[in-house]
Amino acid sequence: MKKLGTLIFGIILGALAMYLYYNYYGVGMEQPPIGAPKGIITPKEAIALDKAFNIKHRIINDSLFKDTKIKDNRSSWWSIEDIQSYINYAENQAGELGYSMDGLRVYLGSHPSINGQAGLTTMFLIPTGKLNTSQGNILPIFQGPSNDIKGADGLNLGHDGVPPSSNYPQ
């Protein structure tokens, strides 16, 4: 009788372990569909945004690049691998700096002028987050706004458009 009780206990324990394993790792389960994040725009909306920028771009080109063969840059491109690596790097660095990273901010910038030639426009990413002020805060809304993480490295040197002055879509 004692061996039967141990056997039943072992079966129950094994079934519980399998249940937890399958639910935790999702083994044999279908993944839920991926939903669209906030801010998704259609290609038609992207074209409208790109066209609305044309006047600003024309002013930049007419004033800074009027005597050059190359026109100013309109886009930057990074590979998925570069973006994922940067996010992992930035999250790690944010933790080391005492922040909880919660996003990325895209800035427009310009490379420095060299030999009298105006530098091309560039875009760069900076991690944003909130300073970890206390452990176990149950009310994260009181932590303040998400700001650029001071002292964190940004990501630049994306590839220019082909040619740099190309509109959307390329």
Query: The tokens of 170 are what?
Result: 């390329």
Give the angle 83-144-155 at the CA atoms, nearest 5°.
20
Alpha helix locations (H) across the chain?
2-25, 43-64, 80-96
pLDDT at residue 137, rounded to an integer: 54
Please give the Cα distance from 110 to 118 (Å, whole number): 9
pLDDT at residue 165, rounded to an integer: 66
Strand segments, DSSP code E, in 84-150 are 99-110, 121-131, 147-148
pLDDT at residue 139, rounded to an integer: 57
Query: What are the average pLDDT values for consecutive 10-residue runs of the chain, which has 170 residues?
Result: 72 78 66 78 85 81 72 81 92 92 87 73 87 65 72 80 66
Q: How many angstroms separate the most distant Cα atoms in the chain?
A: 97
pLDDT at residue 87, rounded to an integer: 93
Contact call for residues 122 and 111 (beta carbons, < 8 A) = yes
Provide the whole-model pTM.
0.65
User: What length is written for the chain?
Assistant: 170
